[in-house]
Structure 1
């Protein structure tokens, strides 16, 4: 039997490096976090070939004495744990493994000068061996340079990606850390083959909204709502702050969701699941919200030491945290998202063009010059027929007629209506409204779909006075046996929203009542779609099974679609105005249940530009 032996320190450090230093971006994360914990106000990052050749982090923090630098390069030596209460840690790094792990797989140069010291000091460690130390000239702070990463570990080196890929990963790390600390100035430069490009430059002391918008997208500031929510816990106050993008401002991937716990950027399944649940009835299934959420939670309620790289956390009361995030997001979106995140498409606007000025044909001038314009209609028709080569022109009363109704004037009271007064309908799908400062187009089906969904949700919360309508003759809907099982299991929850169903044999369901808001829906098609939704969203997800209420909200979106005004339906002016007024009073009416905008606005200034009046 092989004998148990102690591993040499060099091998121990390499094993530890495998947990902490997976790629240059992982080493960069540890170094920048150390700079933040050192109290730096300015942090500069320089990369060469995305960090494959060299990466350097310079800060103006507290610095270190020479003896502290030697200790910092030993394993499990740290200044960030003043006592043994590891659960109360308040710094970003505390395991004491980063510097020795990096030094074991690369050439590391550590230079530092403490506040008040006359000179700085340098230590150079090449793949675990100290090769140089001595005085160094630098201002107060610390500079760490990492070169030739994995040069002597070819098995790890060959799995690194291209310089471009490693640079993108490093940029993402710095962006997330910079977003969490708007009080610190960050710069990031990347060079290759004599070319250097500055990728990130932020100012010290920026507001959170400014920093987040600068890093994610500048238009996010105008297309997001601020979040500020607090809740007391047995160990203190839990806070949720940040910016949440409107549902109409979304992306096709979830890479634009930035989540932080006590200042740490994390990628946690519970948090991403909470975000998905909060936007569940406002986004299409293949779209993702854009946001930056900062959760501050008392240290005893969260374990930040469950992953060597500290990218995952574990909560003492996961359900409480999830509910807090979902309610905070929905509360913020309900108070600020009646607006739409999308204006008129620029490409569509550019296709507007003025009618070119053309000279009248000579034949037309010869016909109408000298004519008596008070002539009777037959004489005018004769002239037109003469110009068209004898082809008769229909009388005016035979020409196509538009549907006309008396439009309401914009009264003094109506000028406060954000969505204006209805003026007509285009293609029996879009409502045209006039507001005091522009022209508004409303997608009647998308808007009514959102209104119906909100009515159903209020009915489920007991806020609706009449939420269910019994059928005179119950409908029998034949379905697959598995679908019947799903609907039977969800029957109690569906009843809260006014849909009364029960099993009717092995392969059929009986519908006794439907929600008043969708009384005209096709019950057979409705039940089949509901069964499909339950099958899809009732499964176990990454963060655990969805709560019943969240599963039902997916179902409600389907019910709302069945009960809404369809495109192609002719509406009277009174119906259009009623729809506009209800939209103004309904939360989340700026987007439909699939994340598309329900209305867009063309400012009066833009209209004037179309006619050259600007």
Structure 2
């Protein structure tokens, strides 16, 4: 016996016109997902109003109170009833939805907030009286006079009180507060010339969570200052400036060095025409740009701004406006990949300065038991607490001449470059080089592996990619959509050595493969490429596989750990590192050297 469908009523359904309150609550479900969504919409409104300072106050994770205060142009008493009406906006006139220059344009935020909470707006235009209006659960109150010096104050209380079921889906106050802080930080990066303050006023106390004063200077100076404030000075010190333009698309911002990577993508901030976005095509392009210098479990840090004619990008894709659709996505992706790779190569041998700091942190002694004063120490020939916490056993001091290391007596200035002059080789793997203000420790195998890898890639790109023709072409059956998508990408794939042709119907024939890959499972490769094309619109799969082969070849062809090197060999390796792009990290994104400043070493030993 078949069970009746729960979607089919025994009676004929009747079509009804929903009332305005229900319509607003439904729309609010798309626009206002959580307190952070409300903060985003209100702060964007303030920025569209020309505000130079924005203050956000919240209580209980934004569930009880969200208040946004700005010094923008304000609204008149006549504007306020329209402002809380759906699809009423000052941003566009509706004639051209592809030429949008503002954050907001849908006219849904304020009525949606008023439909699910208690909304109060106070505003004043210069030279006119201030006015206020209240919306409670969709019910609009009358306009009334208030006292306000200028700008606008929007206060949202008891979010989702009109839809209490939504409160069950809210996370903890702490999690919601973190989400609001992330929204404010992203908008602060988008507008370095605007001052931002975020405060927690729960329980009547006032605690500043985030503050960023308006930055001065040109584009890059202002952005660098704001980046240092939002992400941290470490990122600003370990990032390269990006400024590239091609075919009417401009890319600016900062990209972190490969050795300044993260375990997650939390430090990736992407903007399109100043709008913060989380677009999978842009994220994929960023990942592709670092593909050759980062392992799969690491993520780059970057703040990137794509500027393009508004008519070439559609921002009306999602009510939250966090996704965009480019008219020429390949051009944008290509610019990101090319510009970032060029900038990272231009950084030469640089490695993140945080590597040295992390090394020093590992070298500091960890506390072991209660403090033992010098007068109470046993008078033996070994320390009761070693300086290096991980040292398991004390050994008698060894003279330098007896140490298992190659020593070079050449003065620093005779061969020194950025990485100094080699002084010793420790454990047949680590080169110690003295610089003008400290020293570096080089992993000889990792460094030489990168050098060999770059040489192999240059040879491949210079002579072209050799192909191997398959004795019997491999026929692969695909769906019609996959077949069309793959054949459209066929010219790009041929340039990296993979030649495919239509074979009739929805099948393709793999005729040639890159010779460097050796024997290839063509069907698995094609499936992987199709996944890339479906997800990102472009595939780097063949290129990635070829680079992986070259990486393995370079590993086998590089100086192995355990080999003793002469002084001239070590100095030659240092000089080649200085002249080779990306030599600051190995093929897997790990640093090839650690730089320690003399001042830091002196502090480690208590000399400063």
1:343 to 356, 369, 372: 356
Mean Cα deviation higher: 264-273 or 422-431: 422-431
Partner of 2:251: 240
Q: Partners in 2 of 1:431 and 1:405 — Cα distance? A: 10
Aligned to 2:141, the other structure's residue is in SS state: strand
Q: Residues 491 and 428 (structure 1 numbering): CA distance in 2 closer, same or farther, change over 3 Å?
A: farther
Matched, 1:176 2:186: yes
Cα contact 2:80–2:143 (8 A) shared by 1: no
Deviation at 1:553, TM superposition (A): 3.1
Residue 241 (structure 2) pairs with residue 226 (structure 1): yes
Which of 536, 543, 549 pairs up with 1:543?
536
Contact 1:431 1:442 in 2 (8 A): yes
Report the counterpart of residue 411 of structure 2 in structure 1.
409
Q: Give the equivalent residue in structure 1 for 2:140.
A: 130
Q: Which has the higher mean CA deviation after the structures are superposed, 333-342 or 101-110?
A: 333-342
Alignment deviations for residues 252-295 of structure 1 (CA, whole Å, 9 cap, x no partner): 11111010000110000000000110011111211111111111
Quick one: structure 1 residues 174 and 250, their matched pair in 2 at CA, closer, same or farther if it must change by over 3 Å?
same
Q: 1:4 Cα deviation (Å)?
A: 2.6
Q: Secondary structure at the match of 1:4?
A: coil
Q: Which residue of 2 aligns with 1:581?
A: 575
Which stretch of the first structure deviates more once superposed, 420-429 or 173-182?
420-429
2:171 is aligned to: 161
Q: Out of 95, 100, 124, which is 1:113 matched to?
A: 124
User: Is 1:211 matched up with 2:226?
Assistant: yes
Aligned to 1:451: 451
Query: Which sections of structure 1, spanning at least 5 residues, go unmatched?
Result: 363-395, 469-488, 497-510, 515-525
The answer on 1:56 being equivalent to 2:67 is: yes
Q: 2:597 aligns with which of 591, 595, 603?
A: 603
Equivalents in 1 of 2:14, 2:521: separation in Å? 63
Q: Is the 8 A contact 2:117 2:160 kept in 1?
A: yes
Q: Quote the offset at 1:304 in angstroms.
A: 0.5
The verdict on how the C-alpha distance between 1:536 and 1:243 changes in structure 2, with shifts beyond 3 A counting, is farther
Q: Which has the larger radius of gyration?
A: 1
1:286 aligns with 2:297: yes
Give the structure 2 partner of residue 327 of structure 1: 338
Q: Secondary structure at the match of 1:442?
A: strand
2:405–2:425 Cα contact (<8 Å) kept: no
Do the aligned partners of 1:533 and 1:554 also contact (CA within 8 Å) in 2?
A: no
Match of 1:477 in 2: none
Q: Shift of residue 191 of structure 1?
A: 2.7
Match of 1:273 among 248, 272, 284: 284
Distance 1:303 1:404, change over 3 A: closer
Match of 1:251, SS?
coil
Do the aligned residues in 1 keep the contact of 2:55 with 2:70 (CA within 8 Å)? Answer: yes
| Structure 1, 202-211 or 29-38: larger mean CA deviation | 202-211
Aligned to 1:69: 80
Shift of 1:421: 1.6
Deviation at 1:529, TM superposition (A): 12
**Aligned counterparts of 1:563 and 1:4: Cα–Cα separation in 2:** 74
Cα deviation per residue 1:414-436 (whole Å; 9 max; x = unaligned)? 34x11112122111111111222
Tell me if 1:91 matches 2:102. yes
CA contact (8 A) 1:269 1:543 kept: yes
Normalised TM-score (structure 2): 0.79
Q: Any idea what SS the aligned residue of 2:46 has?
A: helix
Report the 3-state secondary structure (helix = DSSP H, G, I; strand = E; otherwise coil) of the residue aligned with 1:546: coil
Query: Which deviates more, 532-541 or 402-411?
Result: 532-541
The 2-side partners of 1:531 and 1:594 are apart by 26
* Structure-1 residue corresponding to 2:30: 19
CA distance in 1, matches of 2:406, 2:444: 19
Deviations 1:560-589 (A, max 9, x none): 333322222222222211211110000111
CA contact (8 A) 1:537 1:551 kept: no
The unaligned stretches of length 5 or more in structure 2 are 1-11, 217-221, 368-373, 381-398, 467-489, 499-512
Question: What TM-score comes out, normalization by structure 1 length?
Answer: 0.79
Task: State the SS of the aligned residue for 1:87.
Answer: coil
Aligned-pair Cα RMSD in Å: 3.3
Query: Contact conserved, 1:281 with 1:557, CA < 8 A, in 2?
Result: no
Q: Does the aligned pair in 2 maintain the 1:78–1:95 contact within 8 Å?
A: yes
Q: Contact 2:215–2:226 at 8 Å: present in 1 too?
A: no
